[in-house]
Amino acid sequence: MPRASDTSLPFGDAVLRAPPGSPWKAWQIDPDAERRKVSLEALDPGARPFSSGDKAADRAAVERLATEIDELQNVFHPDGRYKLLVVLQGTDTSGKDGTVRGVFGRTSPLGVRTVGWKAPTEPERAHDFLWRIHQAMPGNGEIVVFNRSHYEDVLVPVVNGWINPAQTRQRYAHINDFERLLAETGTVVLKFMLHIGFDEQRQRLQDRIDDPTKHWKFSLGDLDVRQQWAQYQKAYEDLLEATSTPWAPWTVVPGNSKTHRNLMIATLVRDTLKALKLRFPPDDPRLKGLRVT
Classify each residue of 21-39 as buried b or exposed e, where b means 16 or more C-beta atoms within 10 Å of its C-beta.
Answer: ebebeebbbebeeeeeebe
Which residue's CB is nearer to a second copy, number 22 or number 176? 176
Which residue's CB is nearer to a second copy, number 1 or number 292? 1
Backbone dihedral region of 70: left (phi > 0), alpha (psi from -120 to 50 degrees) or beta? alpha
Interface pattern 53-92 for a second copy (x via CB under 8 A): ------------------------------x---------
Interaction of residue 37 with a second copy, rule CB under 8 A: no
Interaction of residue 245 with a second copy, rule CB under 8 A: yes
Residue type, 263: L
Distances (CA, A) of 175 to 154, 191, 222: 10, 13, 27
Q: Which of 137, 145, 252, 265 binds a second copy (CB under 8 A)?
A: 137
**Pick from 132, 134, 146, 28: which is nearest to 87 by CA?**
146
Interaction of residue 244 with a second copy, rule CB under 8 A: yes
Distances (CA, A) of 11 to 146, 223, 265, 276, 278: 21, 43, 20, 7, 10
85 sits in which H/E element: strand 83-90
Alpha helices (runs of H) in the chain, residue ranges in sequence order: 55-79, 96-104, 122-125, 131-135, 156-159, 165-184, 198-210, 221-227, 229-243, 258-275
Please say whether the beta carbons of 85 and 182 come within 8 A: yes
Interaction of residue 219 with a second copy, rule CB under 8 A: no
Q: To the nearest whole angstrom, how small is the minimum distance from the Cβ of residue 176 to a second copy?
A: 6
**Pick from 178, 232, 222, 174: which is nearest to 202 by CA?**
222
Interaction of residue 164 with a second copy, rule CB under 8 A: no
Backbone dihedral region of 80: left (phi > 0), alpha (psi from -120 to 50 degrees) or beta? left
The residue count for binding a second copy (CB under 8 A) is 43
Interaction of residue 152 with a second copy, rule CB under 8 A: no
Q: To the nearest whole angstrom, how small is the minimum distance from the Cβ of residue 64 to a second copy?
A: 31
Q: Which of 28, 89, 107, 187 binds a second copy (CB under 8 A)?
A: 187
Interaction of residue 166 with a second copy, rule CB under 8 A: yes
Interaction of residue 93 with a second copy, rule CB under 8 A: no
Q: To the nearest whole angstrom, how small is the minimum distance from the Cβ of residue 290 to a second copy?
A: 26
Which residue's CB is nearer to a second copy, number 75 or number 225? 75
Q: Which of 14, 42, 119, 126 binds a second copy (CB under 8 A)?
A: 126
Q: Which of 108, 160, 164, 170 binds a second copy (CB under 8 A)?
A: 170
Residues that bind a second copy (CB under 8 A): 1-6, 8, 83, 123, 126-131, 134-135, 137, 139-142, 166, 169-170, 172-174, 176-178, 180-182, 184-187, 241-245
